[in-house]
Structure 1
Amino acid sequence: MGRKELQCSWKKITNNIKDIFDFKEVLGSGSFSEVFLVRERQTGNFYALKCVKKKQLHSSNLENEIKVLRRIKHSNVVGLVDFYESRTHYYLVMELVSGGELFDRILDRGVYTEKDASLVIKQVLEAVSYLHQNSIVHRDLKPENLLYYSPEEDAKIMISDFGLSKMSDHDVMSTACGTPGYVAPEVLAQKPYSKAVDCWSIGVITYVLLCGYPPFYEDNETRLFSKIMKAEYAFHSPYWDDISESAKDFIRHMLEKKPSKRFTTEEALNHPWIIGNTAQNNNIYQSVCEQIQKNFTRSKWKRVINATVAVHHMQRLKAAHADPAVATQMPLIEVLDVSSLDPPPDELDTNGNPSCSHMSLSPQCDVSRGRGPLKACNSEPMHALVITETGQHTYHSESDLHCTANSATDGRSQSLQTGVCSMM
């Protein structure tokens, strides 16, 4: 059977991509693709170039991602700049985002307030509102996919990773996909769902930004999914004692179990916590950072390279006053086999349960009472899980920067990891 070709009228054909770009450094590597920091020879501009092997990737899912990216033009969304094809590869030229992940920037701040969290969520809401207005549902919003455009202190937030996104003109979807802890109840219940799932995810992100731990956590995936489907969470003392009632009200509207009652992006953007002066300026840095480090540290075991690669590259060029066209020494890329690492000591969350960072999802779990079980990749529950309906395959472009030696999982539900220092 012949290989299916992507039908994109605007794609460019090249015999040798290195005639167009000067390859600087490897940013990530996965089973199906590699991502490079590149410099366009004609303009001198830097980009993240994702190189996808044709023979190892069924093109229909990539085609969906490219169509979505091609349709997006927003200042808070990582953009697709260009698209090339050679005899053996597809090449996605992505906007280079070099400011690092949201959690990393919070940890580096020293001072962090409700107002800071509100400003982040406002930017996310504006971007997601734009997506929804263009009939695009992201379906995998989480802190790891929120990146800063540059290392500058006032850099804007960028949304990345559109591997699970969907163009939905009819506003109804059914494929169960997303990341545990951030996925909406209706998705886990295997019911038809709408763009409201993105608003739920934003509610979860808001909660995490204000306390440093997720609203839903369990050491057993069945109990975790049960809590999510019941919208069972709380504002625990002492972590929420100094958080405003306005912030809690905003979260309650976003984590509304019934999609029809849940805030839309437009309603959320008009909430006083977003547009008013109700977000407090008290420094909550110490409490939030302690919980982030406790609950999200383990996910970093799988992060081989992140956005700092690009930042360090720029800094080296600047310090050496070198011509950007001159290749520098390639970084040492260490691939960790996380299955061989000893887990950290057990720690308890605020309810006395094992921390969510210590959970390990099994390949199968049944949360649907009489319906087909959901399939899950063997991956970090808070970081890179793809849930798919039985017998179906869902493509996920969780960042290649999180590659591991154990990249292969259940053959029927394999996660394709494709990212940049920003993307994808």
Structure 2
Amino acid sequence: MGCCNAITKFQEEQATGEIKIETNLEGAKPFQRRDVRNKTVIRIVTRQMIKCIEGHVADYYEIKEIIGEGAYGCVRRVVHKATGVEKAMKTIMKSFVKLSEVKNMLLEVDILRKLDHPNIIKITEVIQDNRCYHIVTELFYGGELFDKIVELKNFKEKQAARYMHQIISAVSYCHSHGVLHRDLKPENLLLVDESKNSPLKVIDFGISRLTSNSFSPARRYGQPHYTAPEVFNNMFTEKSDLWSCGVILYVMLCGYLPFLGSKESDTIRQIANREIDFPDKEWSKVSQDAKDLTGLILNKDPNKRPMAKEIMMHPWIQSNMNGLCHKIRLDSVKNLISFRSQEKIQHATFEFIISHLSTQQELKELQNAFMILDVNGDGKLSREEIMEGIEKVRFTKYFDIERIIEECDADGSDFIDYSEFLTAAMDWRGTLSKKKLQSAFKTFDINGDGKIDINELKEMIPGLSDEDYLEIMREADKNHDEAIDYEEFEKICMNLNKFVAEV
């Protein structure tokens, strides 16, 4: 299984320190757990599970129309046969790519499976046949931000600020996990749907790099219009990504690029030498705060550019984000408060369904709630953010914040991450289906024998002691055959009384 082996190799390189992704929790205080010395933190990270299959795509998906094309292949809409969930599938012809580009593709898969943020595209599986690699991801219906800019010429400031908040939040999250995107532009920002306030998703991590990888040259790709000046001198840092965000902001506010020559060399010369300007014809209608932030980000000296967290706290961003708290649905807050997770198999399964088998329509309201609660935009919820959000929706009944943390924080990070929030806040009584359970079971049943054995359980819920795994198996294995068959699995997952409690 070549594709799977290559991804496994990347995992091995991470383990030996050659490639490394670290979680930086700087910027917010972690939760203080009760009885922390006596509590066993069970790490549930099924959102990171990416199936790598050798076989025919048509066995798993109905292949629909082409929705995009690139240098090495195309992107199609596909429908998962088992669940009916629509996805996007990027197909890359093996004959068109060099070995180095295959490695880039596999690194993109490895990077994306670790990123868990409401404004970053999620990958679900990779299928390989004799001719192609097929990368399956979320499907979005709203088109590129680039097309929206062309259509509107320029955005109203409130809309531009809210998009900017999402972009910077995603980029900051990438940087905190040691990832440089390196190709931020409106074409790589997709709208989830066609609604007026559709959220954005950052896509195309094909040339992304890890900051711990010292062999990451500042090579330029494509057109230079969104490229930071220092990149032309072989230097790419986090601030270079932020410059690209500044160009995107400039375009959103006025409808044209800040640096545009008659040919590529002229554009590069302008980026390197000409100071940013704001022509009165378009910019006289733009607020001073918006111009101030744009100018700060497009400072040619990367050392003088603001950090992502400074951009997030700029008065222009903050003033335009005010008034969103009323859009949090009380139901999602009630579900979060009443969340129970006594069955770890059930919790792991629901997190997998959220990350791999749920539609954008099912997640939209919860995604919106998470982004509103995440006041500092770091892609995770702190204790203070949760308490503030609950107070904003005027939830008057008693709630135990420490219990919420202990129940929802599945990976032991001391924050509630995006997928953890979705898992806890989802109305499972109304959305859980047997089709999704069957599809999840097939993923956990790695060898395809119709059962989850002790080794597959370890893959499903990593990091426990042998005694813990035996205890979980004993509780689930009702027919005592030393494995969990589908009937036993379904009984655990359909027992929603253990998963949620009435508030």
Please state which band the TM-score falls in when normalised by the shorter chain.
0.5 to 0.7
The answer on 1:42 being equivalent to 2:82 is yes
Displacement, 1:230? 2.3
- What are the Cα deviations for residues 4-29 of structure 1, in whole angstroms up to 9, with x where unaligned? 98512454223222110011212344
1:14 aligned to 2:54?
Answer: yes
**Counterpart in 2 of 1:104?**
147
Residue 296 (structure 2) pairs with residue 253 (structure 1): yes
Cα distance in 2 between the residues matched to 1:17 and 1:159: 26
After superposition, the Cα gap between the structure-2 partners of 1:111 and 1:26, relative to the gap in structure 1 and judged at 3 Å, is closer
Structure-2 change in CA distance of 1:28 and 1:252 (3 Å): closer
Residue in structure 2 matching 1:157, options 200, 220, 238: 200
Would you say the 8 A contact 1:231–1:256 is kept in 2? no
**Compared CA separation, residues 134 and 201, structure 1 to 2 (3 A):** same
| TM-score, structure 1 normalization | 0.60
Alignment of structure 1 residues 333-344 onto 2, 5 Å: none
User: Match of 1:66?
Assistant: 109
Matched residue, 1:142:
185
Which letter does structure 1 place at the counterpart of 2:228?
Answer: A
Q: Quick check: 1:135–1:171 contact (8 Å CA) kept in 2?
A: no
Change (3 A) 1:196 1:231: farther
Q: In 2, distance between residues paired with 1:257 and 1:6?
A: 43
Deviations 1:170-200 (Å, cap 9, x if unpaired)? Answer: 689432224311100000122x221111100
DSSP 3-state at the match of 2:104: helix
Q: CA RMSD of the aligned region, Å? A: 2.5
Q: What is aligned with 2:308?
A: 265
1:143-292 maps to which residues of 2 (within 5 A)? Answer: 143-169=186-212, 173-178=216-221, 179-190=223-234, 192-276=235-319
**Could you list the per-position Cα deviations for residues 287-344 of structure 1 after superposition, in whole angstroms to 9, with x for gaps in the alignment?**
xxxxxxxxxxxxxxxxxxxxxxxxxxxxxxxxxxxxxxxxxxxxxxxxxxxxxxxxxx
The ranges of structure 1 where at least 4 consecutive aligned residues each deviate by more than 4 angstroms after the TM superposition are: 3-6, 106-112, 170-173
Secondary structure at 1:248 match in 2: helix
Contact preservation (8 Å) 2:188, 2:203: yes
Amino acid at match of 1:8: I
- CA drift at 1:246: 0.8
In the alignment, the residues of structure 2 paired with residue 184 and residue 28 of structure 1 have an alpha-carbon distance, to the nearest angstrom, of 27
- Tell me if the contact between 1:99 and 1:149 (Cα under 8 Å) persists in the aligned partners: yes
Matched position secondary structure for 2:116: coil
CA separation of 1:111/1:194 partners in 2, compared to 1, >3 Å: closer, same or farther? closer
Structure 1 portions without partners, runs of 5+: 280-424
Equivalent of 2:130, from 84, 87, 100?
87
Distance in 2 of aligned mates of 1:96 and 1:64: 21
Which blocks of at least 5 consecutive residues in structure 2 are unaligned? 9-49, 323-503
| Letter of the 2:264 counterpart | E
Q: Note the C-alpha offset of 1:31.
A: 5.1
- Are the aligned partners of 1:185 and 1:257 in contact in 2 as well (CA < 8 Å)? yes
Q: 1:30 to 1:255 in 2, by over 3 A?
A: closer
Partners in 1 of 2:171 and 2:154 — Cα distance?
27
- Which amino acid letter does the alignment assign opposite residue 32 of structure 1? Y
Letter in 2 for 1:273: W
Give the drift of 1:217: 1.3
Q: 1:5 to 1:147 in 2, by over 3 A?
A: closer
Report if the CA contact (8 A) 1:227-1:233 is conserved.
Answer: no
Q: 1:125 aligns with which of 157, 168, 173?
A: 168
Secondary structure, aligned partner of 1:238: helix
Percent identity, aligned pairs only, is 34
CA drift at 1:106: 4.8
Aligned partner letter, 1:271: H
2:149–2:252 Cα contact (<8 Å) kept: no
Structure 2 length-normalised TM: 0.51
CA distance in 2, matches of 1:15, 1:201: 39
2: CA distance between counterparts of 1:110 and 1:33?
Answer: 31
Mapped to 1, the partners of 2:268 and 2:237 lie a distance apart of 19
Q: Kindly provide the amino acid, as one letter, of the partner of residue 186 in structure 2.
A: P
Q: 1:311-322 residue pairs with structure 2 within 5 A?
A: none
Match for residue 32 of structure 2? none
Alignment CA distance shift 1:65-1:87 (3 Å): same
Report the AA paired with residue 57 of structure 2.
I
The alpha-carbon deviation at position 44 of structure 1 amounts to 0.3
| Bigger CA radius of gyration | 2
Taking the aligned partners of 1:162 and 1:13, their CA distance within structure 2 comes to 21
